[in-house]
Amino acid sequence: MKKSSYFISTRIDDFVLYYNLVNDTLLQLPVDRNEGCIECLQNPNNTMSIYWPKLYEDKFIIEDDYDELKEIQRRHWKTVNSADELNLTVISTLHCNSDCTYCYQRNLGFEYSEMTEADFDGLYTFLLGVPQKKIHINWYGGEPLLAKEQILKFCAKADKDKRHTYSYSISTNASVYDEKFFRMMERYGMTNVTVSVVGAGEVHDALRPSTEYDSDRVIKNIISMTRYTSVVVNLNLCKSNIESIKEIFEELSGYRHSSLSFSFSRIVSYAHRPCAEIELDVDTYMKRVIELANWALDHQFRISDMSCFQNFGVYCGVYAKNNYVVGPALYLYQCERSYNPSDSFAQIANGALVYHLNRTDCAGTELCLDPYQVDECRACKLLPYCNGGCDYLRKIGKNACPPEKDYLEEYLKLYYRIFYEKR
Ligand code: SF4
Ligand code: SF4
């Protein structure tokens, strides 16, 4: 017998949590029992220990020939090749009604900046023939609500396709609200909306200049949206808004028992749109996020799980075969950070996928990075947690590791609070 190589533990008040990253088992025990548990893990052949049966059952203690790396690799490839559902991110338009100072889509010359009516029709014709029964579309931009009429028209048509079941989500800045749009989208199978928010009042105006809307409008629209769907408010954090971001919680405090939840992301500076002067370093960002999330939970707000605990073997959809981004002119991309036809791997034409020369789908493995072939990842104890991290960042020469890499114990506490704490 041997001890699992992939688990973490942390203490909350008077108990200790153990989480097995390979098998997603969570063990909770009183703090005065922890010493015995540690002793058992150090002597995995001591089957007489009272801790042994549970540690064995939850795979913290495993057979000598149990290959954990092989197990997580199997889980990874199962998801990569899963054919159950088709997941699309559709960039309906790259136009936006804000001029965010930190936007990673700024300063990029787009060859095609929005989907035409023929593109929407072409996408629908293609989807009619896909073998998956379930299709999920995340409407993305630019600001997708600028194309709300076209989106609604598409969804109305798709609603008549009896071979497939469609569901939808939307990533928006909440500057646009249209009662009819949300009412109809609810009917067509909208599951949730993610709203990126930077702050209130002048903080909003400085980071997200727009002649068309202000933060009061955003808050009002978020509240209206909660009547029709779950809304995740994603707080984009940087040096300019970190001190005042609690104002957003306060403005939405009357809705904490609705379908509203919060998540966090870090504003990052890119070469094509540098904003290093406002970027929070990863450590500061992580410490503040952990503090904010705990504060929000203490005040009865809902926090969306931001961790990779309970994952399906991939860091994000980029790795999965039936998951891609559709852009204007129906070019297909692996990741939502690519917008140039020269970076696309295929195009939809006449209702079919046409792969570009020398590019294949994941079955041919050329497009998908195999994190199990990256030496640094193979040797890393977090591999079953992050499954190789962000492929886009790795490709542009940045650190692919998840920001919480050095804060996993704190993340485990949050995970426990989000899912198990009675409130
Ligand atoms: S991406 Fe980073 S944290 Fe994840 S397995 Fe690779 S080295 Fe480890
Ligand atoms: S590869 Fe990175 S940037 Fe692209 S979707 Fe995945 S996590 Fe996001």
Ligand 2: residues whose CB is within 6 Å?
316, 318, 335-337, 390-393
Q: Is the dihedral of CA 177, 178, 183, 184 positive or negative?
A: negative
- The span from the CA of 123 to the CA of 118, in Å, is 9
Predicted local distance difference test score (pLDDT) of residue 26: 95
Any atom of ligand 1 within 6 Å of the Cβ of 403? no
- List CB contacts of 308: < 8 A, sequence separation 6 or more: 315, 385, 386, 387, 402
* 3-state SS class at 190: strand
| Ligand 1 centroid, distance to 30 Cα (angstroms) | 31
- The span from the CA of 347 to the CA of 362, in Å, is 16
Any atom of ligand 1 within 6 Å of the Cβ of 376? yes
Q: For residue 391, which atom of ligand 2 is closest to its CA?
A: 1
Whether residue 191 contacts residue 161, with contact meaning beta carbons closer than 8 Å, is answered with: no
Question: Which pLDDT tens digit goes with each residue over 62-95?
Answer: 999 999 999 999 999 999 999 899 999 999 999 9
Q: Categorize the per-residue pLDDT at 361 as very low, low, confident or very high, splitting at 50, 70 and 90.
A: low
pLDDT at 364 over 60: no
- List CB contacts of 397: < 8 A, sequence separation 6 or more: none
As given in the structure block, the two tokens for residue 393 are 């960042």
- The span from the CA of 345 to the CA of 355, in Å, is 6
Preceding omega of 142 cis (within 30 degrees of 0) = yes
Verdict on whether the full-model pTM lies above 0.85:
yes
Q: In testing the pocket of ligand 2, which one of 333, 337, 343 has its CB within 8 Å of the most ligand atoms?
A: 337
Any atom of ligand 1 within 6 Å of the Cβ of 384? no
Question: Which pLDDT tens digit goes with each residue over 344-360?
Answer: 999 999 999 999 876 65
Closest residue by Cα to residue 133 from 175, 161, 99, 171 = 161
Any atom of ligand 1 within 6 Å of the Cβ of 408? no
Q: What angle do CA 305, 307, 311 make, to 5 degrees?
A: 105
pLDDT at 289 over 70: yes
Q: From the DSSP assignment, how many helices (H) and strands (E) are in the chain?
A: 14, 15
Alpha-helix residue ranges (DSSP H) falling in 356-397: 375-378, 383-386, 391-395
As given in the structure block, the two tokens for residue 221 are 């629209």
Q: Is the dihedral of CA 71, 76, 77, 82 positive or negative?
A: positive
Mean pLDDT of the residues in the chain: 94
pLDDT at 185 over 50: yes
Other beta carbons within 10 Å of 57 = 11
- The span from the CA of 256 to the CA of 301, in Å, is 5
First-to-last C-alpha distance (Å) of the chain:
40
pLDDT at 365 over 50: no
Question: Which pLDDT tens digit goes with each residue over 258-283?
Answer: 999 999 999 998 877 789 999 999 99
Any atom of ligand 1 within 6 Å of the Cβ of 21? no
Q: In testing the pocket of ligand 2, which one of 140, 390, 396 has its CB within 8 Å of the most ligand atoms?
A: 390
Element at 59 (helix H, strand E): none
Predicted local distance difference test score (pLDDT) of residue 395: 85
Any atom of ligand 1 within 6 Å of the Cβ of 326? no
Element at 229 (helix H, strand E): none
Ligand nearest to the CA of 104: 2
Q: Is the dihedral of CA 341, 342, 345, 348 positive or negative?
A: positive
Domains along the chain with CATH numbers = 2-66 (no CATH), 81-298 (3.20.20.70)
Predicted local distance difference test score (pLDDT) of residue 104: 83
Q: For residue 390, which atom of ligand 1 is closest to its CA?
A: 1
Query: What residue's CA is closest to ligand 2, atom 3?
Result: 392
| Ligand 2 centroid, distance to 158 Cα (angstroms) | 27
- The span from the CA of 18 to the CA of 290, in Å, is 19
Q: In testing the pocket of ligand 1, which one of 282, 380, 381, 393 has its CB within 8 Å of the most ligand atoms?
A: 380
- The span from the CA of 332 to the CA of 259, in Å, is 33
Q: Computed over its alpha carbons, how large is the radius of gyration of the chain?
A: 23
Predicted local distance difference test score (pLDDT) of residue 358: 63
Query: What residue's CA is closest to ligand 2, atom 4?
Result: 335
Look up tokens 């008549």; give the residue. 160
- The span from the CA of 378 to the CA of 372, in Å, is 6
Predicted local distance difference test score (pLDDT) of residue 120: 98
pLDDT > 90: percent of the chain:
83
> Residue 189: left (phi > 0), alpha (psi -120 to 50), or beta?
left
Q: Which letter does DSSP use for residue 387 in this model? A: T
Q: What is the rounded average pLDDT of the residues 110-138?
A: 96
Closest residue by Cα to residue 16 from 7, 6, 27 = 27
Ligand nearest to the CA of 69: 1
Element at 355 (helix H, strand E): strand 352-355
Strands (E) across 43-149 are located at: 61-62, 85-91, 134-140
Q: Could you give the C-alpha distances from 371 to 34, 72, 390, in angstroms and in order? A: 34, 11, 10
| Ligand 1 centroid, distance to 381 Cα (angstroms) | 8
Query: What residue's CA is closest to ligand 1, atom 7?
Result: 377
